[in-house]
A and B are shown apart, each in its own frame.
Chain A
Amino acid sequence: MSDSNTFIAPPELRYIQYHSSKESTYLSAIRQLISKDLSEPYSIYVYRYFLYQWGDLCFMALDEKDSLIGVVISKLEPHRGGPMRGYIAMLAVREEYRGKGVATKLVRMAVDVMVERDADEIALETEVTNTAAMKLYERLGFLRSKRLHRYYLNGNSAFRFMLFVKESTAQCGDEDENPQLPPRPPSA
């Protein structure tokens, strides 16, 4: 079993927090990177929805030439008037850089900020066949909380992953019924 603490990310990469001042530099690269694995692209509004409201929960991995290698986009808000819920909406790493812990590092940075900002729990969905993503989240402490039948447009099912961060969360009753992001086809 590998311990994610011992993970060493490629040293030449820089990890930075997004800011709206960086929109013109990075937004189109972000869109490109994310869209690569989707059969149907998200509209610009989806990106702005997240980046404008929770830019500080978006992290980017850049190489020495400042090209985008990886990105995580997330949000944090009270869930149905209840617990403070973080949600990891999008995550992608450029193919040549995969398997080196880049995504793990990005997710950890986002999760750390969520924890700092008082998150009770963190949720996300991933396709049941996405071994790399599932492994990544499971190693960090996420559990599969439910299976979502034919969740994506391509007819594939998903797992909802959950992470409880705080004691209080456990007592909150019911999880939501509806996924946060309407289904989109992931990996081609």
Chain B
Amino acid sequence: MAADQDEPTPEQKLGYSMTTPDPRRSQPMARDITADFSAAASALNTGQLVKDEYFTLFEAVGALEIMDPKMDSGFLNPGETLEDDYDVLRELLPEEVLGIMDQMLCYEMAWHMGHPLSQSLFTSLYLDRLLWPEPKTLEGARFDRDNAPGLGNEMLHVVLRAFCLGLIKTCDFVHRRISTEHYYEEEDFVANLYYRKLLTDFEVANLEKTLDDAALYLDGEATIPNKTLKDALVNRLELRRSMLSAVQIDGIVDPHRVTFWERCLELLPGCSKTSTLGTPIVQSFSIKIQRRLASSVPPRPIVNISHHEAFVQLTSLCQNAKDAYRILDYHGGNHLMTFVSAYQSRMPQPCVYVRSLMQSMVFSEMRVLGTMSFKQLIFDDLEEIVLPADVLVDSTNWDVEAPQDPRFHMAKRMDDFVTRAADPFLDIFRTLCMNRSRLRRMLCHLVLDWDSVQVDAESFDTELRTYNKEEPIKESKNPSEELWAFPLSSWAYYHKLRQMEWIVQMGFELDVYLIDELGGMYWYLQHLTSTRIQHLERIRTFTTRRLARISKPTPEQKTAFRRSFSFLDFATLDAAATASFAEGLSCVFSFLSHLGLIPAPYHARPYSTPALRYNLRMRPFLSISLPEVPSYPEFASLVSLRTPDKTNAAPATQPEINDQASQMLELADQALKAARREWEAVSKVDAETARCVGCEDWWRTSAKNVLRACITANIMVSTAKKAVVSAGSKDPKDVLNLELVESGKGYHPWWVVPKISAK
């Protein structure tokens, strides 16, 4: 596994000692130690483990048993040869070249999907010949290597070679892009190159020229009578060239890159259609190469994906990469966040290369989207959420040089705050670019960072007050109590609450909650969004007062306040819509467990206790200072769980049970009706207000799907209501059918709506 990665391959060791002899090391003296070893081993019992404390499970798992064909990649079955007998230099027909190109494309996609090169591209004998031993010049990267180039066989030496070189260089750029960003080794991508270099040292222009020359050669080639076949080859060379230009490292944030991806998308349907013309050469790929790539891991099978799957994968890669560039059209921090989150939550999620590309666009070489400083981004976000046209973010403060001037200090402290908050803020975007499982796990860490950003921000707020002469709000009822705006910590709290909501919502998406937990988790989501609404109200109070105190607002000030109020309005609507839907579903699940159609939340199990299981579920939030996680008894009574005391009470009569069931349905009904109105309102909001300029299509699709889920939930509740009425004093369970929708099969992954029907 990972243990093999630092070890040089036998070839490398050999190459090293041949070319650079180490004078300090004398020739080793060999001595047969078999007898000593047997003697020492006989002192041990069978099964006794001799290990130091550094021999961990990881090493145990990485260990191999030599001569076991399933583990020992060097093991040869009787009659098996070490090398392949496929002749890389044999004459190739045009249709064979086409076939090989498409096979390579499949393996390239397999690599993009997370499989190692040793099980995909690097099994190609052609690529192996080009890359090993490492060519010193681009001219040297040829199939006949050191031999003088022979005449003829241009299909191989010109066409296939150009294709291969273009492919390898593309992989080089892809590999470097992913390696500079956050990703998870083995989960997302296997970065191991097995000591091969992917033409890293050669200029992209020379490779582009090689591809152009090959296309020219084909153009003038009269010996391919089949025009469709010839065009298919030319198109593939152009596809390679466009992709190569698209993924180049230099200038990755240049919006013109889109044109290359567009060209790929134009070429792809034709390539896909003509793939049937090719003749695949299966023997030109061999698992035996693995022995030389990674001798210390077990042999692993070649990963074969179909042409169809490969073209689908490549098309979505190109489309997603093209779409990613839409991010460069900046409209504000909240638009940016909506963009990244909407972009990443589309299913299937964009592949790791594109997710890395997006990270690079958001922030690389100290620039946001290639043009802005991080400070600009944070200030923009602060202005929109808490500080419209505020003196704290007034850019003229930074021109003040007199230390006695409060503006000088405000500028300094605000800079310090940006330094403090920059990484956690950037991490939100980064986290959103991770695979969905990691997204949830990383959010659980990030939210703790934000908890401490919030604490630190409070000190900043307190200190800044002395410079900006903030006056607290004094309630007339209680004049001794002073309310301060705490803008920076309010901002941090806002972002923290959003992350907490995401953690819960990702739990639904990833199918982490058991059926009996759904009611409680929707209750908690409702609790978090209600807290966000209260927090937005608090922010609004201070912003409103600040505006009221400006006697004659300038047009710029008016615009800034208008923008901030529009944000607060929309955020409140969005939070309210989420809260209502969550409340409604929570009631639906309570109703179902009340009737015994699903198990009661955290019901008794042989091990652990309900409270312990609740604590386990709430663990990501337990150490967060605010909002505090309710204790289990509080939670249980709030969510109207069947707590142990309740179950111990005398069993309720059927009419009583039905009466309670009706009440629960009534609550569900009210909440879901409100949710429907609110989600309708959300889905009608214009892009500017919804902070989704640039990603309106994805955002709208998602909002519509939530609305669909919400409408379905409304229908389910009215069905249930009718059934309970018709049951009279009988058990409604006997007239209701419950069907749980499989994870990922509903309208929206964050909204689990059970199917309820009358029997």
Contact = CB atoms under 8 A, between A and B. Distances in A.
Closest 5 CB pairs between A and B?
A141-B605, A170-B615, A23-B47, A149-B437, A52-B49
Contact of A24 (B46, B49, B62): B46
A176 B582 CA distance: 30
A169 interface: yes
A38 B438 CA distance: 25
Contact of B437 (A42, A148, A162, A180): A148
23 contacts: A41-B68, A41-B70, A43-B61, A43-B71, A45-B61, A49-B60, A51-B47, A52-B47, A52-B49, A139-B605, A139-B606, A148-B437, A149-B436, A155-B114, A164-B612, A164-B615, A167-B612, A170-B619, A171-B622, A177-B441, A181-B57, A182-B2, A183-B1
B184 A153 contact: no
**Which of A149, A164, A169 gathers the greatest number of chain B CB atoms within 10 Å?**
A149
Contact of A163 (B47, B60, B510, B607): B607
Given A40-B298, A163-B608, A147 B46 contact: no
Interface in B601-658: 605-608, 612-613, 615-617, 619, 622-623
Interface in B111-146: 113-115
A185 to B, nearest CB: 10
Contacts of B484: none
Given A43-B65, A48-B47, A146-B441, A169 B612 contact: yes
B607 A144 contact: no
A79 to B, nearest CB: 12
A143 B514 contact: yes
A170 B65 contact: no
Interface residues on A, range: 35 or more
A41 B750 CA distance: 38
Nearest to A150: B187
A40 B512 contact: no
A181 B605 CA distance: 27
A172 to B, nearest CB: 8
A46 B616 contact: no
B13 interface: no
Contacts of B444: 174
Contacts of A23: 46-47
A66 to B, nearest CB: 19
Interface of B: 1-2, 45-49, 51, 57-65, 68, 70-71, 113-115, 184, 186-188, 298, 300, 435-438, 440-441, 444-445, 510-514, 517, 599, 605-608, 612-613, 615-617, 619, 622-623
A182 B444 CA distance: 22
Nearest to A48: B49
A88 to B, nearest CB: 12
Interface residue SS majority, chain B: loop
Contacts of A51: 47
Nearest to A134: B514
Nearest to B301: A39
A23 B186 CA distance: 34
B606 A141 contact: yes
Contacts of B437: 146-149, 157
Interface string A92-125: 0000000000000000100100010000000000
Contacts of B45: 20
Nearest to A175: B619
A130 interface: no
Nearest to B613: A143
A151 interface: yes
A104 B445 CA distance: 34
Interface string A49-71: 10111000000000000000000
Contacts, number: 146
Interface of A: 1, 4-5, 20, 23-24, 27, 40-46, 48-49, 51-53, 108, 111, 115, 128, 138-151, 153, 155, 157, 159, 162-167, 169-171, 173-175, 177, 180-184
A160 to B, nearest CB: 10
Contact of A183 (B59, B186, B440, B616): B186
A167 B114 CA distance: 40
A147 to B, nearest CB: 4
Nearest to B297: A40
A55 to B, nearest CB: 9
A180 B184 contact: no
Contact of B622 (A43, A143, A170): A170
A41 B622 CA distance: 40
Contacts of A174: 444-445
Given A40-B298, A147-B437, A175-B619, A20 B47 contact: yes
Nearest to A180: B57
A175 B622 CA distance: 12
A20 B49 CA distance: 11
A174 B68 CA distance: 40
A182 B445 contact: no
A163 B608 CA distance: 7
Contacts of B65: 43-44
Nearest to B506: A147
A85 to B, nearest CB: 13
Given A143-B514, A150-B186, A4 B606 contact: yes
A111 B113 CA distance: 38
Given A169-B616, A170-B616, 19 more contacts: A4-B606, A20-B45, A43-B61, A49-B60, A52-B49, A139-B606, A141-B608, A141-B613, A144-B511, A147-B437, A147-B440, A147-B510, A149-B184, A164-B612, A164-B615, A165-B612, A175-B619, A182-B2, A182-B62
Contacts of B619: 145, 170, 175
